[in-house]
Amino acid sequence: MVEIADYLKSKYPNSPIIMFPKGVASFVEQGLVYGNFDVFGVDWSTPMALAKEKLGDKYALQGNMEPCRLYFKEAIKECVTSIAETMKDGRHIFNLGHGILPDVPVENAKYFVSLCKEVSKRG
């Protein structure tokens, strides 16, 4: 992935590159994440506080809500609030920590987006 990011940056230097590896919490913890990219997508199994501590000075972070939380509005609110609190003084893009499941109620997905917008305005 490092070579791909380097190639893309050399060819398109003004285009932001987002790296999203899944299941790499131990690599994050050990300081083994590096590369010529702009945003690091944090999967739901990696604690956002750990990613912020280890990577927040180098990259904007994206993610990391666990997709199954979209089934319950209370779980959505709890997680969005927690991520916002963790990332309040860091560069962050709200997103899921992996893909959306096909049977998630559309109303809940819309609630997630609205809540993310609302929380982002506060910061």
pLDDT at 1: 80
pLDDT at 72: 98
Residue 10 above 80 pLDDT? yes
pLDDT digits (tens, 9 = 90+) for 24-40: 999 999 999 999 999 99
The neighbour count for residue 32, using CB atoms within 10 Å, is 10
The DSSP code sequence of 41-66 is EEPTTS-HHHHHHHHTTTSEEEE-B-
pLDDT digits (tens, 9 = 90+) for 44-99: 999 999 999 999 999 999 999 999 999 999 999 999 999 999 999 999 999 999 99
Q: Could you give the count of Cα atoms lying within 13 Å of 54 in the half-sphere of its Cβ?
A: 19
pLDDT at 52: 97
**Beta-ladder partners of 117:** none
